[in-house]
Amino acid sequence: MSKFLKGTLILLAAGLVTRVLGFINRIVIARFIGEEGVGLYMMAFPTFILAVTITQLGLPVAISKNVAEAEARGDRAKVKKILVVSLATTITLSIIFTPALIFLAPILSKTLFTDSRTYLPLLAIAPIVPIIAVSSVIRGYFQGRQNMKPAAISQMLEQLVRITLIAALTKAFLPYGIEYAAAGAMLASVIGELASLVYLLATFKLKKKFRVRKHFFQYVKTGKSTFSDLMAIALPTTGSRMIGSLAWFFEPIVVSHSLAIAGVAAIAATKQYGALTGFALPLLMLPSFITHSLSTALVPAISEANSRNNNRLIEYRLQQALRLTFLTGGLAVVILYVLSEELMSVMYGSNSGAQFIKLMAPFFIFYYYQGPLQATLQALNLARAAMINSLIGAVVKTAVIFILASQPAFGINGVAMGILVGFVLVTLLHFATVLKAISFTFYIRDYLKTFIVMGISGWGGFWLLDVLNSQMSLVIRVLIISIAISIIYLILTFFLKLVKKDEIIRIPWIGQPLAKFFR
């Protein structure tokens, strides 16, 4: 089994567990603090993402790419220099931006956000910035060596610690007010990330082949060329992420002011935004653990192939990633569309947000595609083009949100439509950029077959939804219909040969038996 496929499978398994645990966290938060509390949490969260993006400076991707290339040459001294320079950079930036976040919290909550209760959640997330800054460097190092286990285990550990604490902290702080409960949820995230960092440091100490502290400052002083190499990838990459983070940072600000223009009160706007971003979007983004895993594994795999000028392997890796993304994303879209109301009721005990899933699910296949395409552009040294694409998408998204959400006829649905327009546009632009860089074959017949599979599976799901007795437990109905849709989808996928035999054989444990069904 290749390092790429092995690493992808490890990240897929860990990503599934992490997303499920993360979803349990979301459910706990929603049931304890409701739409209003989730709205406060989600208004503060983009600020945290922006602070982390600035602190990381795009280094995780640059580390992964440069370490992969240095490992291919057997240059261990270069690997150490990459790690030392990266740690020095992120630690310095975190020392600057953590106090800045604490200082700006009251200004952000009172001036930019229409709900001043976001102050405490903003304050609670400040300590997480230096923790994530260091852990992301170590993750990038392991990913560059195509060792995905430490990153995978650390993600699961972070979620386990968070889920252990989140119910206790939100329940303990809730009597003091909904904003205290939202801050408690943030604090659980901080402790979870700290546990993840401790594990990564311990693993690094056991696995490393050199001493980082030895001549640390000497490596920093002589690391100018290494810093330049890292920045050549990191700055365009962080530019792309920065655009996304800034767009997300301004999103709740634009939404709250737009809804105010439309005549929606501040508390109602917070609830509506919580239903969209805290209830519906996490459910729609749940399947993206597959594309995230593929994207993480694609950067070093395509970087290595690109350093050897192996264009056939680059296209093969990308075709693998996109085919798997389309197949898995297609199944997710069908299940989410058919069972939107039922899933929301089971997860959150409320139908709030179901209308957003109906509206957005058919287009989310574009969102799932975006990760592998962006990873390919970064690996091909086209991070600047990805950044420009992201900038165009962010500007258009923000403009559409303001234009539509400020009109009473659209309201919060205008926000959902703006988000859709943004990521569909960015994905199409990424695709166009990839096509200019490498030769790429479109297998139109396979795409048509996949749409047929989705259509038949969806029809079967709606039929079962009508047939099954409404007196049956809602959880049982959701499980039966989800399993039935998945079985129909898989049978049709195998029947129409949408998965190749050599790919099936490589699946651990079940690959050999399944491959017997293929000629």
Domain ranges of the chain: 3-257+264-441, 442-519
Give SS3 for 104: helix
Please give the C-alpha separations between residue 343 and each of 29, 163, 447, 456, 482, in angstroms, as whole numbers.
Answer: 16, 21, 28, 21, 10
Per-residue pLDDT tens, the chain, 519 aa: give them. Answer: 555 556 556 666 666 677 677 777 777 777 777 777 877 777 787 887 787 777 777 777 788 878 887 777 777 777 778 888 888 888 888 888 888 888 888 887 777 776 678 888 888 888 888 888 888 888 888 877 777 778 778 888 888 888 888 878 888 888 888 888 888 888 888 898 899 889 988 888 876 665 665 656 666 666 677 777 777 777 776 766 777 777 777 888 888 888 888 877 767 777 888 788 778 888 888 777 777 767 777 777 777 777 777 778 888 888 878 888 888 888 999 999 999 888 888 887 777 778 899 999 999 989 988 888 888 887 887 878 888 888 899 899 999 999 998 888 888 889 999 999 998 999 999 989 988 888 777 778 888 988 999 999 999 999 998 888 667 788 889 999 999 999 999 889 888 877 766 656 555 444 566 556 555
| DSSP state, residue 443 | -
- pLDDT for res 514: 57
The overall pTM is greater than 0.85: no
List all residues 6 or more positions away from 54 whose beta carbon is below 8 Å from its beta carbon. Answer: 93, 97, 238, 242, 245
Distance of CA 303 to the CA centre of its chain: 21
- pLDDT for res 208: 65
CA atoms of 83 and 90, how far apart (whole Å): 11
Give me the amino acid identity at 127.
Answer: P
- pLDDT for res 305: 77
Distance of CA 323 to the CA centre of its chain: 19
- pLDDT for res 421: 94
CA atoms of 114 and 304, how far apart (whole Å): 48
CA atoms of 255 and 113, how far apart (whole Å): 10
Identify how many contiguous H helices and E strands the chain contains and give both numbers. 22, 0
CA atoms of 290 and 375, how far apart (whole Å): 13
Neighbours of 474 (CB within 10 A): 13
Pair 186, 125: CB distance under 8 Å:
yes
CA atoms of 187 and 181, how far apart (whole Å): 10
CA atoms of 359 and 126, how far apart (whole Å): 35
- pLDDT for res 509: 46
